[in-house]
Amino acid sequence: MSKADKEHFRVLFQYAPVSMWEEDFGGIRHFFDGLHGLGVTDFASHFSEHPADIGACMQTIQVTDLNLQTMLMLGAATQTGPSITNTVKATRKCGSLQL
């Protein structure tokens, strides 16, 4: 992909009229590999028996970018730093973590 193409898609992402997040889910793979290393083979049963691990797993997801609409929606002044990190973590504390 050319430099111009990358810039074009970056601008589309930043100025899209809907909330968009770019996230790195690589940490989840390491989390699951760790559980597998402990002998876990049935992840649904494991998470039912250890619901705190759902939150621990979610915490491994890294937000790498937010577009401007997301910043407006979350009331964030910047795309990085403690305030946005805390806001993102708060969005993951809802009922969506339940199995």
Write down the residue that tokens 């993951």 correspond to.
92
Which pLDDT band holds residue 85 (cuts at 50, 70, 90)? low
In this prediction, residue 89 carries a pLDDT of 63
Strand partners, 62: 24
pLDDT tens across 3-21, in order?
999 999 999 999 999 999 8
Domain locations in the chain?
3-97
Counting other chains too, the contacts that 88-92 makes at CB distance below 8 Å and 24 or more residues apart are: 88/63, 89/59, 92/55, 92/58, 92/59, 92/61
Q: Does residue 79 surpass a pLDDT of 90?
A: no
In this prediction, residue 28 carries a pLDDT of 93
Element (DSSP H or E) covering residue 99 = none
Write down the residue that tokens 């002998």 correspond to.
39
